[in-house]
A = this chain, B = another copy of it.
């Protein structure tokens, strides 16, 4: 596999995931090339990211619209092609927690943990009225980091 700048050691990177959602590749998500359209993974990442933040109690908090978590960037590496009907797992983890932002990493596996997509993206905690970043609370940091301690059963392909 090609070098991916946000993955130092692939095996340990893959082992750190311990949350995922299942996704089926839909017919409308294929294109005339016969396989999954390149846009589709970003739909799955969004679903997985929200489910992950919800599991940490960090999604519903922002319904007051005074503050929010926004996407600063997104980056996806296409390792293997996917097809209609493929059932995949979209794994999510927190990678780097900064003062007012953090990285979310994604790994999409198929079948017996065959890695088909990897991705990452920065999320920023913002004051919705000012439109500016604000420091993550200690509680938020704990929730984000708490998820990364336990081990996962993922057996990544080399």
Chain B, Cβ-Cβ closest to A75: B75
A27 in contact (CB, < 8 A): yes
Q: Are B42 and A27 in contact (CB under 8 A)?
A: no
Residues of B within 8 A of A84 (CB): 32
Number of interface residues of A (CB under 8 A): 31
Q: A27-B47, A31-B27, A74-B75 are in contact. Are A39 and B42 (CB under 8 A)?
A: yes
A56 in contact (CB, < 8 A): no
Chain B, Cβ-Cβ closest to A128: B33
A26 in contact (CB, < 8 A): yes
The residue from B43, B68, B78 contacting A72, defined by CB atoms under 8 A apart: B78
A111 in contact (CB, < 8 A): no
Chain B, Cβ-Cβ closest to A37: B28
In the complex, what's the smallest C-beta–C-beta distance from A82 to chain B, in angstroms?
Answer: 11
Q: Are A26 and B46 in contact (CB under 8 A)?
A: yes
In the complex, A72 Cα to B2 Cα: how many Å?
10
Give A residues with C-beta under 8 Å from B.
2, 24, 26-28, 30-35, 37-39, 42-43, 46-47, 50, 68, 70-78, 83-84
